[in-house]
Structure 1
Amino acid sequence: MRLHAPLGWFPTAFGLVLHAALATADLIDNGKVVTLGDITYYAGGIPVSTLHGVNGQIVTGLLDIGADLLPLTVIHTNSSHFSTVELNSIVSTFLDSDDVFHTEFLESVYLAYDGSKTPSVDTQSCAPTLDGYGTELFMVGPTFKTSMFSGVTKVSFSKELPSGPYFMSPSTGDIFRAYRLYPDDYLAFISGAVSDEDDGFLALPAVTENVMAKSIAVPSRLYYTASADKPLAGLRLGVKDIYHVKGIKTSGGNRAYYYFYGTQNATAPSIQGIIDQGAVSVGKMGTVQFANGDSPTADWVDLHCPFNPRGDGYQSPSGSSSGPGAGMGAYSWLDIAVGSDTGGSMRGPSGSQGLYGNRPSTGAISMDHVIPLSPELDTAGVFARSASLWSTAIQAWYQNFSSNYTTYPKSIYYSGAAAGWSDVSETTPEAYALLDTFISQLETFLSVNRTNVNLTQHWIDTHAPEAPSDVNEMLNTTYAILTSVDQYALLGAPFFSDYAAANQGRTPFINPGPLARWRWGQANSDNSTYAAALANMTTFRTWWSTTGFGRPDPDSCSEGLYVYPWSTGTTDYRNRYFLATNHPPLGFSDWAVAGYAGAGEVIVPLGEAPYNSTVTGKVEYLPVTMAIQAARGCDFVLARLVSELEEKGILRPVGTGSRLYSN
């Protein structure tokens, strides 16, 4: 939009203006919500630089957005003679690669030169192009010679900024990052977060109107450039709300915990590690209370369960990393998310939303400053929509695994037969075809034939003489004891004590599921039963890595791959009621192997299976996924494997929304 020049302003060839007087409007400390080109933005309250004009003058005016803010685009060039050809090319690239930038940000432009010569601007070619973009103010950096230019203003920044869209305050010269606000329609987030421009974050002080939903602010992708040191630069990251993040409150899915402990003063080392690799946190995401295993909707008393976008939109997102899984299935503007896995909390949502997601080898990364379930089993994983991005993320994040193996595992141990999936009658024809086709393609890729295995029988045949003969009986209560006892001792008891001391002896509310688990642990375990549970897990771990299906190999890291179906497109409606739970999960099956073995496992989406929705009355589709496990410490082998399977077309990236694929 062109502006008329008030008295005392200098018009230029581009309709540009500069004023010597300072405006008196004050900035709101916590930023502003503005609408530009029908898109809602948050202009952060913390400036990232300050713009100074010639002789200390500061830009003023041009306030046609109705606030003390002016859209600004920063452009970097290596060309010593900047022309309209390069200008149009850069704008086109910005539009193609960024969802925050659009042409309304070209109302003011700052051109920075990164070369070593004395730069110039081809004003004759640029003027009509800038005029077409509606540019009112065109500025160049201090290395440009402006005496030969008509309509170009020479300015300086207190701190050089990367290319991209910004907002500028004409009254102060302060420059702020531009964040696009997206609605959290699927209730995946607990709170949005923006950088405090130091080493922490601020809860997003901005909301746009929506039903129950929060706004999430995402920065421009143009601010970041991936490098060897920061391979995840600019990737928008969601964080499960059991990880502490400096400047943000942690809820763990519990309102009392959120308000009682307040803002955290340190970031979990695991989250700091992925941020150090370049990822940009945009908020905290929903979790089953204290990372347990509640079902929607009645078990979620304190908070509302996130919505799974797949199928009819009323299937369970699984848990406990419910928010990260739902968000990754719903929002194309979210690139990766961090969850946790103790007994399936990464893998369950990966299966329900059809994502790439992993439980790493135990000890892959620090779990300090994280709400614990059981330190013996707790791990941190990554969700992504493509194998290549998931592979890149975990190889950047986990620091203790080797990538020097030159061959792939020599065996495929397929547990699908033992689970009944070898019979098409046990699942839908579509799901069976996807599972069987993938195993056949994996056989071809690795040049090996599958071996159908029965873990229970293999234990009977090969277990140590002193070990129990029935592995299912040996491990029946292991998970229940470890998680219920550990979490009550490390979280429940201290929380009750702290809360009571500050609230005249009162007890905080705990959802029925976690509370029942804690009570079960107190009633059914003592030092001897806990020690026995640990010993049984150790017995299994030793057997798995020596006689079982998780043996190491000097050439391929893992002698074989343990593969089994994870989700088969079956429904799990969120509008059902269940009998009240009174104990933690009991029993033993494939889901528990990775945890007890301490091994890495990844869920990969294979496709979709149709079902008749009782919600929509139409045929809808749900994901079919497979679990692939390698020996402990061989996580990078899995990363390389799934990435190459995607390159070969055996695996595919998935999209967002009700269907995995757009075609």
Structure 2
Amino acid sequence: MFGVRTLALSAVAGLITSILADHTDQSVKQNALKHVDTKAVGEHIFQLGDITYFTDTIHATCEQAASGPDTDGSLFPITHIIADTPVVTANFIEDVISKYEQEDDVFNADFLQAIFFTCFNASATLDASAIQYLSTLNPSKLILGKAFGDHASNITGSFSVTVLSTTNAASLPPGPLVARSEDCGLAISTVYRLYTDDTRAFVDGVYPTSEGQRFAVKDIFNLQGIITTSGSASWTRISEPANVTAPAIRRLLDLGGVIVGKTKTTQFASAAEPWVWDDVYPPLNPRGDGMLSCSGSSAGSASAIAAYDWLDYAIGSDTGTSMRRPAAVAGVYGQRPSHGRMTLEGVTPISYSTDTAGVFCRDPYKWVKFSRLWYTPALYQDRSLTGLPAYDVSHGQSLPKRILYPVDYLPLKNPAAENILQGFLTKVTRAMNMEIEQFNWTASFEKLSQPADFNLARLLANLLVMWTHEHYELVGKSLVTMYEARYGSYPRLEPPMRDRFRSPDYSSAEHEAAREIRRLAAEAFEQQVLYSTADTCSESIILSDISTGGLPAYREEKLNLSPNASFLAPPGIAGTSGDFCPFFGCMDVTVPIGQVSYWSKKTLREETMPVTIGLIVKRGCDLMLYDLIEKLADADILKTVNTGVRAF
């Protein structure tokens, strides 16, 4: 199970809503519960003070009452306290409530209107100090689990006392809950806080039936019972709710994670910039002036993790640059793992030759821990999909001693950003006993022993062959056929899918030739450029700027044509460093290293934007790079980033 940030409270999972007004964390003690709406049978939205909550009473735990007055059947808030001692004292109660106040973003004093005690001991009691302290909290109801039943007659106060004859405490999380009297007895439900999605990052809110740390899921991964929209209205119209959750997400649920929602993606996870999005309004990047590009296609996941401190992780995918560019513009941690590291069964595909799954996070330690647990060998892809050799395991466990600085792609365009990069490298080399060496990506490609006589442009052209052929065969063909059969027209699509899905751009023979060229090039690359030694998995680390070199990239297209701004992917320019790992299968992580000022063309004032850098290692060396990330965090070189306008 994941390391839990708070008290492992299942009640802390906030849901997302785009229609409710924003709320503060302040509340007035003993606000009455106000019913707001019933979304479906058993699903209720209510308010306590100015904070809005959700509960699902269909999945309530029902406990039989042995004694005590019934209620009128209305919902009422309660606080559940699980005693770890047979004698509950005032100090114990005060400590527990203090922890709830500090660590649970659902809890506030309004939930103390009823207090519910359970204990795993056979017999338990509240001592005199506890009863006296409870009176100061002014609850109207005291609910006691079966363990307290023998001592209930000794408890007196201004509150009513209900004793339960059966208590399944293991199924009830500690902290804030809601309850009401029903035919079965006292029905107790988990409660969730509703949050406003200010950055418009989410498609759906999802409430969990388990406990753990919270994560969001890009809307190309199947969740049982929910339609996977893949960012396309046409796709949604021909789709049914998924029957099975994708194994990659099932893994996280099995580890104790809690899904809070599905995040927006570009149409079919394409590389579309914000001004191209059609069926879905693009998420807002919370950094700087709020009008910077959120990139694509995992924009919703990156924007959400950069915006909301109640979210711990967000799942995305990377076919071309779809994890790393959103991570760069949002100033968070994100990775393209080694190709083949995670099954993509139950995920809307673009290209099985290059698709990968990744995770965004603000904290380097949590990011690494999550990744180590998630990428299990049991979920590796079959090599028939990747088309690449097996991972090389004949190497030592030491960190590499060289960092390669690609002179054909660096320095960063913004001198202030390059100064941050140089400061970062100075710290890294000193702390890790590494050296910086100049390197030329282009020259290294053209010296590969196989395939013969391929320059950079000819090599990377094979990516387009794999992407377009596989996307048509896996998605486009069936979409067009089903949509035309059902609606009698061609589906509404964005470019380039509008033309690509009409007919295949490349034949099956051309596709297989492209995969073979890539396989040969990857073999040579792993022998001559990024290779293993007896000491380490990857002899060196290559730097990569997948972002804009420290210049703002706006969500409004024309602003990127002006001086001191930049497109993330300049039109007409092929062979960015973001293409290299999709082609060779290597691992590429994006890490935030600082921030720079820029003059905003939207707010007409100085703002700040993140500076990030990519770290590339040989395919299969993910664990080695995670070791390095942890050591850099230990040395205070990599840090946790903030949510909101400023990453640091």
TM-score, with structure 1 as normaliser: 0.83
Q: Select 1:538's aligned residue among 507, 510, 519.
A: 519
Q: State the shift of 1:126 in Å.
A: 2.3
Is 1:169 equivalent to 2:146 in the alignment?
no
Q: Is the 8 A contact 2:451 2:520 kept in 1?
A: no
**SS class of match (1:435):** helix
The superposition leaves residues 310-365 of structure 1 with CA deviations (integer Å, 9 ceiling, x where unpaired) of: 11001110111010011111111111000000111000100000000001111111
Change (3 A) 1:180 1:508: same
Q: Partner of 1:485 in structure 2?
A: 469
Q: Select 2:59's aligned residue among 47, 67, 71.
A: 47
Q: State the shift of 1:110 in Å.
A: 1.3
Q: Equivalent residues in 2 for 1:48-447 (5 A)?
A: 48-54=60-66, 59-61=70-72, 68-115=74-121, 118-122=123-127, 124-144=128-148, 145-147=150-152, 149-151=154-156, 152-157=161-166, 159-160=168-169, 161-172=172-183, 173-195=186-208, 197=209, 224=211, 234-297=212-275, 299-400=276-377, 406-415=397-406, 417-421=407-411, 427-447=413-433
Which amino acid letter does the alignment assign opposite residue 159 of structure 1? Answer: N
Provide the C-alpha distance between the structure 2 equivalents of 1:59 and 1:392, rounded to a whole number of angstroms.
Answer: 47
Is 1:32 equivalent to 2:14 in the alignment?
no
Change (3 A) 1:146 1:428: same
Is 1:451 equivalent to 2:437 in the alignment?
yes
The superposition leaves residues 217-261 of structure 1 with CA deviations (integer Å, 9 ceiling, x where unpaired) of: xxxxxx84xxxxxxxxx2111000011110111110011211321
The superposition leaves residues 128-153 of structure 1 with CA deviations (integer Å, 9 ceiling, x where unpaired) of: 43233231111222122225522343
Provide the C-alpha distance between the structure 2 equivalents of 1:283 and 1:334, rounded to a whole number of angstroms.
Answer: 10
Q: Partner of 1:509 in structure 2?
A: 492
Change (3 A) 1:404 1:86: farther
Provide the C-alpha distance between the structure 1 equivalents of 2:63 and 2:454, rounded to a whole number of angstroms.
Answer: 75
Which amino acid letter does the alignment assign opposite residue 557 of structure 1? Answer: C
Change (3 A) 1:27 1:406: closer
Q: State the shift of 1:303 in Å.
A: 1.1
Which amino acid letter does the alignment assign opposite residue 334 of structure 1? Answer: L
Q: State the shift of 1:501 in Å.
A: 2.2
Identity of aligned residues (%): 31
Q: Is the 8 A contact 1:44 1:179 kept in 2?
A: no
Q: State the shift of 1:104 in Å.
A: 1.0
Q: State the shift of 1:429 in Å.
A: 3.1
Change (3 A) 1:28 1:596: closer
Which amino acid letter does the alignment assign opposite residue 484 of structure 2? Answer: A
**SS class of match (2:47):** strand
Is 1:643 equivalent to 2:630 in the alignment?
yes
Provide the C-alpha distance between the structure 2 equivalents of 1:320 and 1:509, rounded to a whole number of angstroms.
Answer: 18
Q: State the shift of 1:154 in Å.
A: 2.1
Q: State the shift of 1:28 in Å.
A: 6.2
The superposition leaves residues 265-323 of structure 1 with CA deviations (integer Å, 9 ceiling, x where unpaired) of: 111111111111111001110001101111112x1111111110111001110111010
Provide the C-alpha distance between the structure 1 equivalents of 2:359 and 2:572, rounded to a whole number of angstroms.
Answer: 24
Q: Is the 8 A contact 2:408 2:442 kept in 1?
A: no
Q: State the shift of 1:517 in Å.
A: 4.5
Provide the C-alpha distance between the structure 2 equivalents of 1:243 and 1:469, rounded to a whole number of angstroms.
Answer: 36
Is 1:614 equivalent to 2:595 in the alignment?
no
Provide the C-alpha distance between the structure 2 equivalents of 1:72 and 1:531, rounded to a whole number of angstroms.
Answer: 62
CA RMSD of aligned residues (A): 2.4
Q: State the shift of 1:167 in Å.
A: 0.8
Q: Partner of 2:15 in structure 1?
A: none
Change (3 A) 1:515 1:165: same
Q: State the shift of 1:633 in Å.
A: 1.3
Q: Select 1:552's aligned residue among 502, 521, 532.
A: 532
**SS class of match (2:101):** helix
TM-score, with structure 2 as normaliser: 0.85
Change (3 A) 1:53 1:657: same
Provide the C-alpha distance between the structure 2 equivalents of 1:267 and 1:403, rounded to a whole number of angstroms.
Answer: 35
Which amino acid letter does the alignment assign opposite residue 432 of structure 2? Answer: L
**SS class of match (1:381):** strand
Is 1:601 equivalent to 2:592 in the alignment?
no
Provide the C-alpha distance between the structure 2 equivalents of 1:404 and 1:316, rounded to a whole number of angstroms.
Answer: 41
Q: Is the 8 A contact 1:484 1:584 kept in 2?
A: no
Q: State the shift of 1:601 in Å.
A: 1.6
Q: Partner of 1:467 in structure 2?
A: 452
Q: State the shift of 1:474 in Å.
A: 2.1
Q: State the shift of 1:406 in Å.
A: 4.0
Q: Is the 8 A contact 2:223 2:244 kept in 1?
A: yes
Provide the C-alpha distance between the structure 1 equivalents of 2:556 and 2:583, rounded to a whole number of angstroms.
Answer: 33
Provide the C-alpha distance between the structure 2 equivalents of 1:44 and 1:574, rounded to a whole number of angstroms.
Answer: 38
Figure out how many residues of one structure are paired with residues of the other and give that number: 578
Which amino acid letter does the alignment assign opposite residue 69 of structure 1? Answer: L
Q: Is the 8 A contact 1:111 1:141 kept in 2?
A: yes
**SS class of match (2:630):** helix
Q: Is the 8 A contact 1:306 1:326 kept in 2?
A: yes
Q: State the shift of 1:518 in Å.
A: 4.2
Q: Is the 8 A contact 2:341 2:356 kept in 1?
A: yes
**SS class of match (1:76):** strand
The superposition leaves residues 582-612 of structure 1 with CA deviations (integer Å, 9 ceiling, x where unpaired) of: x998732321121222122210000111110
The superposition leaves residues 485-543 of structure 1 with CA deviations (integer Å, 9 ceiling, x where unpaired) of: 1111110101111222222x322211223324446x834x2233322321221122111
Q: State the shift of 1:27 in Å.
A: 11
Change (3 A) 1:619 1:368: same
**SS class of match (1:40):** strand
Q: Equivalent residues in 2 for 1:579-594 (5 A)?
A: 587-594=574-581
Q: State the shift of 1:176 in Å.
A: 1.3
Q: Is the 8 A contact 1:480 1:586 kept in 2?
A: no
Moved more, 361-370 or 494-503: 494-503
The superposition leaves residues 565-587 of structure 1 with CA deviations (integer Å, 9 ceiling, x where unpaired) of: 333331111122599xxx99873
Change (3 A) 1:158 1:513: farther
Provide the C-alpha distance between the structure 2 equivalents of 1:290 and 1:247, rounded to a whole number of angstroms.
Answer: 20
Q: Partner of 1:566 in structure 2?
A: 546
Which amino acid letter does the alignment assign opposite residue 400 of structure 2? Answer: P
Provide the C-alpha distance between the structure 2 equivalents of 1:435 and 1:408, rounded to a whole number of angstroms.
Answer: 20
